[in-house]
Structure 1
Amino acid sequence: MIKKLVLYSVLILSLGSCTAQKESSKPNFIIIFTDDQGYQDLGCFGSPNIKTPNIDKMASEGMKFTNFYAQTVCGPSRAALMTGSYPMRNARNDNGDNPHPKLALSEVTIAEVLKPLGYKTAMIGKWDLAGHNPEKFNPDLLPMHQGFDESFLTPGSNDARVHLIRNNKLVEKNADMSTLTKRYTNEAISFIDKNKKQPFFLYLAHTMPHTKLAVSDEFKGTSEGGLYGDVIEEIDYNVGRILNHLKQTGLDENTYVIYTSDNGPWWIKKEHGGHAEPLRGAKTSAWEGGFRVPAIVRAPGKVPAGKTSENIVATIDLLPTIAKIAGATLPKDRVIDGVDVSEIIHAISTELDRPFFYYQHHILRAVRKGKWKLHLPHQPKTNSIVHRKWPIHSAPKDRELFTKPMLYNLETDIAETTNVAEENPEVVKELLQLLDWAKQDIGDINKRGTNARPVGNEPYHTPNNLIPLN
Structure 2
Amino acid sequence: MNRAKLCCYFFVFAANVMLVSSVGEPNIIFIIADDLGWNDVSFHGSNQILTPNIDALAYNGIILNSHYVQPSGSATKAALLTGKYPIKLGMQGDPIQPGDTRALPERKLLPEYLKDIGYVTYLAGKWDLGYTRWNDTPTYRGFDHHLGFYNSWTSYYDFLTTTTVNGKDYSGLDIRRDAQPAWDLAGQYATDVLTDYAVGTIQQHDTTKPLFMMISHLAPHAANPAKPLEAPQETVDKFKHIIDSGRRTYAAMVSKIDDSVGAVVTALEQKGMFENSVIIFMSDNGAPTVGEFRNWGSNYPLKGLKGTLWEGGVRSPSFISSQLFLQKGRVSNDLIHVTDWFPTLLSAANGDVSFLDLDIDGTDIWSSLVYNFDTTRRSTLLNIDEKNRNAALILSNFKLIVGSTKNGTYDSYYGETGEENLEPVVYNTTAIAKSPAAKAIDKVSYSPTSEFEYMSLRELATLRCLDPSVKRTECDLSDGGICLFNLTKDPCEEDNMVNFLPSLVRQMKRKMVVYREGLVEWQERNLDIENSDPKLHHYTWNPWRDCADATCSA
Report the TM-score when normalising by structure 2.
0.70
For the Cα contact (< 8 Å) 2:153–2:221, is it kept in 1?
Answer: yes
Equivalent residue runs for 1:296-445 within 5 Å: 296-302=319-325, 304-330=327-353, 332-333=356-357, 335-359=359-383, 361=385, 365-377=391-403, 395=412, 400-442=477-519
Amino acid at match of 1:432: K
For the Cα contact (< 8 Å) 1:127–1:205, is it kept in 2?
Answer: yes
| SS state at 1:111 partner | helix
For the Cα contact (< 8 Å) 1:90–1:107, is it kept in 2?
Answer: no
Task: Give percent identity, aligned residues only.
Answer: 26
For the Cα contact (< 8 Å) 1:376–1:402, is it kept in 2?
Answer: no
CA distance 1:139–1:396, change in 2 (3 Å) = same
Deviation, structure 1 residue 24 = 7.9
Question: Would you say 1:214 and 2:240 are equivalent positions?
Answer: no
| SS state at 1:40 partner | helix
| SS state at 2:123 partner | strand
For the Cα contact (< 8 Å) 2:87–2:522, is it kept in 1?
Answer: no
| SS state at 2:495 partner | coil
Give the alignment partner of residue 169 of structure 1, picking from 173, 180, 193. 180
Give the alignment partner of residue 288 of structure 1, picking from 295, 311, 315. 311
| SS state at 1:239 partner | helix
CA distance 1:358–1:140, change in 2 (3 Å) = same
For the Cα contact (< 8 Å) 2:135–2:141, is it kept in 1?
Answer: no
Amino acid at match of 1:359: N
CA distance 1:39–1:320, change in 2 (3 Å) = same
Amino acid at match of 2:148: L
**Matches of 2:413 and 2:487, distance apart in 1:** 22
Deviation, structure 1 residue 443 = 5.0
CA distance 1:168–1:432, change in 2 (3 Å) = same
**Matches of 1:402 and 1:255, distance apart in 2:** 49
Equivalent residue runs for 1:427-466 within 5 Å: 427-442=504-519, 463-465=532-534
Amino acid at match of 1:165: R
Please name the residue that 2:125 is paired with.
Answer: 125
**Matches of 1:392 and 1:444, distance apart in 2:** 25
CA deviations on 1:238-287 (whole Å, 9 max, x unpaired) are 10111111111111111100000100010216983211112111000010
Please name the residue that 1:11 is paired with.
Answer: none
Deviation, structure 1 residue 65 = 0.4
Please name the residue that 2:79 is paired with.
Answer: 80
Question: Would you say 1:468 and 2:463 are equivalent positions?
Answer: no
CA distance 1:359–1:326, change in 2 (3 Å) = same
Please name the residue that 2:420 is paired with.
Answer: none
Deviation, structure 1 residue 109 = 1.5
Question: Would you say 1:241 and 2:263 are equivalent positions?
Answer: yes
Deviation, structure 1 residue 183 = 0.9
Give the alignment partner of residue 181 of structure 1, picking from 191, 195, 206. 191
**Matches of 1:271 and 1:91, distance apart in 2:** 26
**Matches of 1:317 and 1:351, distance apart in 2:** 11
**Matches of 2:492 and 2:22, distance apart in 1:** 49
Deviation, structure 1 residue 23 = 11
Deviation, structure 1 residue 464 = 3.9
| SS state at 1:203 partner | strand
Deviation, structure 1 residue 393 = 5.9
Please name the residue that 1:103 is paired with.
Answer: 104
| SS state at 1:80 partner | helix
Report the TM-score when normalising by structure 1.
0.81
**Matches of 1:99 and 1:184, distance apart in 2:** 22
CA distance 1:399–1:158, change in 2 (3 Å) = farther
| SS state at 1:209 partner | coil
| SS state at 1:365 partner | strand
CA distance 1:416–1:469, change in 2 (3 Å) = closer
Deviation, structure 1 residue 97 = 7.0
CA distance 1:279–1:91, change in 2 (3 Å) = closer
CA distance 1:76–1:445, change in 2 (3 Å) = closer
For the Cα contact (< 8 Å) 1:64–1:297, is it kept in 2?
Answer: yes
For the Cα contact (< 8 Å) 1:120–1:149, is it kept in 2?
Answer: yes
Runs of 4+ in 1 over 6 A off after TM superposition: 396-399, 444-447
CA distance 1:183–1:99, change in 2 (3 Å) = closer
**Matches of 2:403 and 2:257, distance apart in 1:** 39
| SS state at 2:182 partner | strand
Gaps of 5+ in 2: 1-20, 97-101, 162-173, 224-228, 243-247, 415-474, 541-554
**Matches of 1:201 and 1:325, distance apart in 2:** 12
Deviation, structure 1 residue 72 = 0.5
Amino acid at match of 1:372: F
Please name the residue that 1:134 is paired with.
Answer: none
**Matches of 1:174 and 1:121, distance apart in 2:** 22
Amino acid at match of 2:284: D
CA deviations on 1:173-205 (whole Å, 9 max, x unpaired) are 9944x6111110110111112224110100000
**Matches of 1:58 and 1:45, distance apart in 2:** 13
Q: Which shows bigger deviation, 256-265 or 245-254?
A: 245-254
Deviation, structure 1 residue 462 = 6.2
Please name the residue that 2:253 is paired with.
Answer: 231
For the Cα contact (< 8 Å) 2:304–2:410, is it kept in 1?
Answer: no
Amino acid at match of 1:253: E
| SS state at 1:356 partner | strand
**Matches of 1:429 and 1:75, distance apart in 2:** 31
CA deviations on 1:137-192 (whole Å, 9 max, x unpaired) are 4433110000110000111122663420111111229944x611111011011111
Deviation, structure 1 residue 348 = 3.8
**Matches of 1:209 and 1:310, distance apart in 2:** 26
| SS state at 2:512 partner | helix
Q: Which shows bigger deviation, 434-443 or 284-293?
A: 434-443
CA distance 1:182–1:117, change in 2 (3 Å) = same
Equivalent residue runs for 1:34-183 within 5 Å: 34-90=33-89, 99-100=95-96, 102-104=103-105, 106-131=106-131, 137-158=132-153, 161-162=160-161, 163-172=174-183, 175-176=186-187, 179-183=189-193
CA distance 1:365–1:273, change in 2 (3 Å) = same
Gaps of 5+ in 1: 1-21, 132-136, 379-385, 448-454
CA distance 1:211–1:392, change in 2 (3 Å) = farther
Deviation, structure 1 residue 332 = 4.1
